Chain A
């Protein structure tokens, strides 16, 4: 058997809305119709540009923009470093790719594979900077939403690096094998205001999403402060090597 999944899912601990990875995404609404130009950054470096046509007549309510698809070696990256053959088949987005969305719809910036570290800046194609109405994932505001998923059990500290007085606390529980296959509960909403996070403390299950609504300029970082490696007596899943599973000695039926 061959297990195939993206290693980054389990090795990247902590999230940053300004440096998106597979476990985090940003949702933004372009309220004004017009042509927009976007730039994808990876670790601060300009990676590619793209265009978004915000059109009242567009039937598209949601434009999914996979930032990992702008990688020049996207196709290779999708399989070479991760070996992924998951159901996240992506189409390679060439520089200059055009997207379309209705002004009442949403643009979703996410990362489908790889190490991430992406940010995106989108602004209207206008000469007047006041009319450019820029959006930058490194500074969320308005109706922007940062969606985060934490897999690694433990206690996290949530911080709005652009403001907010209080830090939030998130506790992600340790997974348990129940009577049925585990599926994460519904997402939890958190408001980001000047006061900090509401609610300020969350108890989540692994894989349960948090939706940070940015009411004020926001850049969320989630940092592991205390890892939870499970109960001390948890069964160790270690390679057992080859071992023949045998029936216990059966007692003779007859004397």
Chain B
């Protein structure tokens, strides 16, 4: 029989897990050129909620965890070299041809729209993991140090129990349909900002009429064959690879960044007092298992 047994009920485990989940953060920014347009984003993410289930096969399963993009600044630049409003016939010839065409006007260079997409969400649809005890030896610990030396220098060894995922699946980013209007308005504003001040309102309206519905313009220019919401979700999730990055970051975080439970080894049971050194107990053979009811941690006291 193990010298030490500690058990946490499913309820207690949920609370432990919440701490791990709440401390997750992920930040990333990137810029990429996709031909007719370029885009960049800066994102910070945290996790929220979800359903945790303990299984009898020594695993935990996590579902429907919201991945909240607390910050998601997105910038879309339409790179439009040589894009011109097609000319129309200015001086028609008598046989319904065109002698002189309206010379048209061209749009060159990038037009950029900043979108604040903070608050978008995705989900961890499925995360399956087992518990993995690890013994952490602080790399800053000097070879000649005793355990007490290491503690007093802040470089103690640690027993750590991690949630070690075997699979992580993240759902596509949930972009609401309202993004259509938001993007259209942003592009429209960007175009409006380009008109010279001398340009009368009716001329602006003619130009806007020539451009046609901005939504159509955007979908044409960006090559969008689905909805803008789906396109944006795909752009961020797949073309920028945010979903893969998130899956990797989540797996890495749970597996090695934030332990579910950790304590110093040797574990101090009596603090230093009156000039006397603390009393520390070596812990050996730490094991962590789980079943549908509880997490069980067992260990021995070293000699």
* A residues adjacent to B (C-beta < 8 A): 1-7, 9-11, 22-25, 27, 62, 64, 84-88, 106, 108, 110, 112-113, 145, 147, 149, 151-153, 174-184, 186-187, 206-207, 209, 211, 227-230, 234, 236-250, 253-254
Q: How far is the CA of A182 from the CA of B212 in the complex (A)?
A: 6
Report yes or no: B201 in contact with A237, Cβ–Cβ below 8 A: yes
Q: Decide yes or no: A25 and B194 within 8 Å by CB, A207-B206, A209-B90, A248-B178 being known contacts.
A: no
B117 beta carbon closer than 8 Å to chain A: yes
Instruction: List, in ascending order, chain A residues with CB within 8 A of B66's CB.
Output: 253
- Binary A-proximity of B175-210 (CB < 8 A = 1, otherwise 0): 010110011011001111111111111111111111
B57 beta carbon closer than 8 Å to chain A: no
Say whether chain A's binding surface is mostly helix, strand, loop, or mixed.
loop
Q: How far is the CA of A173 from the CA of B192 in the complex (A)?
A: 22
Report yes or no: B96 in contact with A186, Cβ–Cβ below 8 A: yes
* B residues adjacent to A (C-beta < 8 A): 49, 66, 80, 84-94, 96, 99-121, 176, 178-179, 182-183, 185-186, 189-213, 216-217
Q: How far is the CA of A28 from the CA of B8 in the complex (A)?
A: 98
Q: Decide yes or no: A87 and B87 within 8 Å by CB, A4-B106, A246-B115 being known contacts.
A: yes
Q: How far is the CA of A23 from the CA of B102 in the complex (A)?
A: 8
Q: Decide yes or no: A1 and B100 within 8 Å by CB, A22-B90, A180-B212 being known contacts.
A: no
Q: How far is the CA of A115 from the CA of B113 in the complex (A)?
A: 35
Report yes or no: A27 in contact with B94, Cβ–Cβ below 8 A: yes
Instruction: List, in ascending order, chain A residues with CB within 8 A of B209's CB.
Output: 175-178, 181-182, 206
- 6 A-B pairs with CB atoms under 8 Å apart are A27-B99, A87-B104, A175-B208, A238-B192, A248-B178, A250-B119
Q: How many A-B residue pairs have CB under 8 A?
A: 215
Q: How far is the CA of A88 from the CA of B176 in the complex (A)?
A: 43
Question: Of B102, B117, B178, which one neighbours A207 at CB under 8 angstroms?
Answer: B102
Report yes or no: A245 in contact with B88, Cβ–Cβ below 8 A: no
Smallest distance from the beta carbon of B98 to chain A beta carbons, Å? 9
Report yes or no: A239 in contact with B192, Cβ–Cβ below 8 A: yes
Report yes or no: A110 in contact with B178, Cβ–Cβ below 8 A: no
Instruction: List, in ascending order, chain A residues with CB within 8 A of B94's CB.
Output: 27, 106, 145, 211
Report yes or no: B202 in contact with A240, Cβ–Cβ below 8 A: no
Task: Return the chain A residue nearest B85 by Cβ.
Answer: A181
Q: How far is the CA of A248 from the CA of B190 in the complex (A)?
A: 20
Report yes or no: B99 in contact with A62, Cβ–Cβ below 8 A: yes
Instruction: List, in ascending order, chain B residues with CB within 8 A of A177's CB.
Output: 205, 208-209, 212-213
Q: How far is the CA of A181 from the CA of B115 in the complex (A)?
A: 25
Task: Return the chain B residue nearest A181 by Cβ.
Answer: B212
Report yes or no: B192 in contact with A247, Cβ–Cβ below 8 A: no
Task: Return the chain A residue nearest B110 by Cβ.
Answer: A1
> For B96, B100, B118, B201, which residue has the most chain A Cβ atoms within 10 angstroms?
B100
Instruction: List, in ascending order, chain B residues with CB within 8 A of A236's CB.
Output: 201
Q: Decide yes or no: A3 and B178 within 8 Å by CB, A177-B208, A230-B205, A234-B201 being known contacts.
A: no
Q: How far is the CA of A130 from the CA of B106 in the complex (A)?
A: 48
Q: How far is the CA of A62 from the CA of B88 in the complex (A)?
A: 19
Q: How far is the CA of A237 from the CA of B191 in the complex (A)?
A: 9
> For B87, B108, B194, B205, which residue has the most chain A Cβ atoms within 10 angstroms?
B205
Instruction: List, in ascending order, chain A residues with CB within 8 A of B119's CB.
Output: 247, 249-250
Q: How far is the CA of A228 from the CA of B205 in the complex (A)?
A: 12
Report yes or no: A86 in contact with B200, Cβ–Cβ below 8 A: no
Q: How far is the CA of A86 from the CA of B87 in the complex (A)?
A: 9
Q: Decide yes or no: A62 and B90 within 8 Å by CB, A6-B103, A175-B209, A247-B119 being known contacts.
A: no
Report yes or no: A147 in contact with B105, Cβ–Cβ below 8 A: no
Report yes or no: B206 in contact with A180, Cβ–Cβ below 8 A: no
Q: Decide yes or no: A247 and B176 within 8 Å by CB, A3-B107, A64-B100 being known contacts.
A: yes
Instruction: List, in ascending order, chain B residues with CB within 8 A of A209's CB.
Output: 89-92
Task: Return the chain A residue nearest B87 by Cβ.
Answer: A87
Question: Of A181, A187, A244, which one neighbours B92 at CB under 8 angstroms?
Answer: A187
Task: Return the chain B residue nearest A239 by Cβ.
Answer: B193
Report yes or no: A237 in contact with B103, Cβ–Cβ below 8 A: no
Q: How far is the CA of A62 from the CA of B108 in the complex (A)?
A: 32
In the complex, besides A182-B206, A249-B119, A253-B66, 5 extra interface pairs with C-beta distance below 8 angstroms are A2-B108, A27-B91, A108-B99, A187-B89, A247-B176
Smallest distance from the beta carbon of A110 to chain B beta carbons, Å? 4
Instruction: List, in ascending order, chain B residues with CB within 8 A of A113's CB.
Output: 103
Instruction: List, in ascending order, chain B residues with CB within 8 A of A242's CB.
Output: 114
Instruction: List, in ascending order, chain A residues with CB within 8 A of B113's CB.
Output: 245
Instruction: List, in ascending order, chain A residues with CB within 8 A of B201's CB.
Output: 229-230, 234, 236-237
